[in-house]
Amino acid sequence: MHRLGLAPHRLLLCALLLALTACGESPPPPADAGMDAGESAMDSGQDAGPAAPDVCDALGLPRTAFRTTGTGTGLGDVAGDFRVNQHDGTVWHLEASWTGCESYVFFTHFPGLTDDLFRTYPDALFLEGPRNVHYFFMSNDADAAARAEFIAGLASGFRDGLTESLPDPAEQAFWSERFHFVTDRATEVEGSVGAHLTDYIAWARTPAAIVDLGDRGRAPAPAPVVIGIDRAQTFDAGDNLSTSVGGPDTFGMAAFLGHFYQYRGALEARLAAEAATTTTVSLLDETTTGRVFRPTVTLPSAAEMAAFDALSVDIVIDCRNGNPFGCSEWDRIADVQLCVDGEACTDRREIARWITPYWRRGRQHYLIDATPFLGLLREGGARTFFVELGPEWERPTEWVAQVSLRFRTEGSAPRATGGLLAFRGGGFDANYNTREPFTFTVPAGATRVELVTILSGHGQTDGDGCAEWCDHQHLFTVNGTVLPSIAHGGPRIGSPRGCAARAVDGVIPGQWGNWAQSRAYWCPGLPVQAERTDITAQVRPGVESTMTYEGRFAGSTPRGGDIALSAYVVWYE
Q: How far is CA 116 from CA 16, 125, 244, 479, in A?
A: 11, 17, 16, 61
pLDDT of residue 489: 87
Q: How many CB atoms lie within 10 A of CB 171?
A: 14
State phi, psi for 83 to the nearest 5 degrees. -145, 150
pLDDT of residue 335: 98
- 314 beta partners: 367, 404
Tell me whether strands 235-236 and 333-339 are parallel, antiparallel or unpaired: unpaired
| Closest by CA position to 489, among listed 459, 515, 526, 522 | 522
State phi, psi for 25 to the nearest 5 degrees. -110, 145
pLDDT of residue 339: 98
469 neighbors 456 (Cβ within 8 angstroms)? no
| Closest by CA position to 218, among listed 482, 505, 23, 463 | 23
pLDDT of residue 136: 98
- pLDDT under 50 in the chain at which residues? 1-52
139 neighbors 109 (Cβ within 8 angstroms)? yes
371 neighbors 260 (Cβ within 8 angstroms)? no
| Closest by CA position to 102, among listed 137, 64, 49, 50 | 64
Secondary structure of residue 285 in the 3-state scheme: strand
Tell me whether strands 562-572 and 448-458 are parallel, antiparallel or unpaired: antiparallel
505 neighbors 323 (Cβ within 8 angstroms)? no
Q: How many CB atoms lie within 10 A of CB 294?
A: 16
Where is 451: in which H helix or E strand?
strand 448-458
397 neighbors 327 (Cβ within 8 angstroms)? yes
- 383 beta partners: 297
**Residue 495: CA count within 13 A, CB half-sphere:** 18
CA–CA distance, 20 with 42 (Å, rounded to integer): 36
Assign domain 14-26+75-249 one CATH number from 2.40.50, 3.40.1350, 3.90.550, 3.40.30.
3.40.30
Q: How far is CA 446 from CA 285, 308, 349, 531, 537, in A?
A: 37, 17, 21, 20, 12
pLDDT of residue 20: 34
25 neighbors 15 (Cβ within 8 angstroms)? yes
pTM for the predicted model, two decimal places: 0.89
pLDDT of residue 53: 53
349 neighbors 373 (Cβ within 8 angstroms)? yes
Give CB contacts under 8 A, 24+ apart, made by 154-162.
154/1, 154/2, 154/4, 154/118, 154/181, 155/87, 155/88, 155/181, 156/2, 157/1, 157/2, 157/4, 158/1, 158/122, 161/1, 161/121, 161/122, 161/123, 162/126
| Closest by CA position to 421, among listed 563, 568, 570, 530 | 568
Per the prediction, the chain carries an average pLDDT of 90
